[in-house]
Amino acid sequence: VSLLAPTASLPRLLLGLDPDAGRLDLPGHLETHGSLPPPVRARRGRPHPLLAEVEAAGLTGRGGAGFPLVRKLRAVLAAGGRGVVVVNAAESEPASRKDALLATRLPHLVLDGAALVAEITRAREVVVWLHRGSAAERVSVERAINERHVAGYPRVRLRVAEGPDRYVAGQSSAVVRHLSGGPAKPTTSPPHATERGVGGRPTLVLNAETAAHLALLARQGAAWYRELGTPDEPGTVLVTATGAVARPGVAELELGVPVAQALAAAGGARPDFRGVLVGGYAGGWLSAEQVDSTPLTAAGLRAAGSTLGVGLVAVLPPERCPVAETARLVRWLAGESAGQCGPCWNGLPALADAMEELASTGGHHLRERLDRWAGMVTRRGACHHPDGVALLVRSLLMTFGEHVDEHRQFGWCGAEPPGGWLPVPAAEEPGLGAWR
């Protein structure tokens, strides 16, 4: 994972992380960020003081959904607390590297945040969730757990758990189901994990980056946290800039700056780039012009037909075709359906077929068909996987409307065949083991 040069008042999370240096061990972590405030014994009827700080700071989840952390904390407390905290560092987005960076270079920031959530909710256990086979992350996190143990800095019991590397396995209900002994497939809610999670206990699942932000917020306070970002979306965010940029990697940016800053942080995009895919593979396209005018916030990106998601910013080079690349991503995403919900199981392959037809042979009916099926899969599943695919398809139709029309009329546009732009993991062998 390469690390990008920060700007002015930054970094926060990435403070003390030299691009050439390795991981921050516990002494390095404490030297850089200082110690956590002493633990507060939370009692019934007297809320933990950090709860108000989290609310005042307006910290939102960084795993894709952008849910306010304070609401999850309150929900777990309302369910009686004393449950489980799961910090998700598995990073199911194939091109995103922020959680890998945190796990391999800044594990103590993540563990601090997770320990704080456990303290606030009086949880008995913290589980760090990783993909099976992500050896570097596992070694780093286990070393960090050991460093804390040796130093007598074990606020809570910490352990690592591993699950299958599947796209929807990162959804919190899938993580909870797997940790309860089932397949890593999403479940219908309610009940939410906050009420009935791992082993039936109240469970708070948060993204590794969210935990890292909490670790700093607890030290510096809400007013400090709000010094950067916008009033509605304060703070900073980690972005992974990739594709047609000079130096792909992870950068920390202030929320509210133009999306173009992600490109600048990566050494600049190729001047004739065609557009950017933002948020994730189930994200939304922006045109090259929109990159300057769209703020890097959840609301700003939503208004532009995209999403902040997990902060992926993938720059499409001029020789590649947005239609063909979208078709490739939709096909892969269709294969990542857990196969539990009819509209997803049927609709995503149908969307992939229509996208491939548009990319190769064309057909005038395809815009209407894609639009219809995108609508037909939206909000019609146990999880939001189909909604994300619909977003990707619709943002293509909106952002590259003219090029889509050329494809409808003439089919293949003569661009590079898709394959070399974004990584798409090999399809999992179908079988019982794939989701365990």
Partner 1 sequence: MSASDVLPEGPRLTIDWTRCTAHRLCVEVAPELIGVDDWGYPVLPDRSVPPALLRRAEQAFRACPVSALALGQRESG
Chain residues in the site for partner 1 (CB under 8 A): 187-188, 190, 340-344, 346-347, 350, 372-373, 376, 380-382
Nearer to partner 1, 105 or 185 (CB): 185
Nearer to partner 1, 82 or 380 (CB): 380
Instruction: In angstroms, give the least distance from the CB of 340 to partner 1.
Output: 4
CA separation, residue 65 to residues 136, 280, 298, 337, 386 (Å)? 26, 12, 9, 18, 14
Burial class of 281 by CB neighbour count within 10 A (0 to 12, 13 to 18, 19+):
buried
CA distance 355 to 153: 53
Instruction: In angstroms, give the least distance from the CB of 147 to partner 1.
Output: 39
Nearer to partner 1, 296 or 389 (CB): 389
Nearer to partner 1, 340 or 360 (CB): 340
Nearer to partner 1, 173 or 326 (CB): 173
CA distance 48 to 52: 8
CA distance 117 to 109: 13
Give the DSSP H or E segment for 323: helix 322-335
Q: Is 418 helix (H, G, I), strand (E, B) or coil?
A: coil
Nearer to partner 1, 140 or 337 (CB): 337
What angle do helix axes 26-33 and 208-220 make, rounded to 10 degrees? 50
Residues 6+ apart with CB under 8 A from 353: none
Instruction: In angstroms, give the least distance from the CB of 39 to partner 1.
Output: 31
Instruction: In angstroms, give the least distance from the CB of 349 to partner 1.
Output: 10
Instruction: In angstroms, give the least distance from the CB of 331 to partner 1.
Output: 18
CA distance 33 to 25: 12
Instruction: In angstroms, give the least distance from the CB of 15 to partner 1.
Output: 34
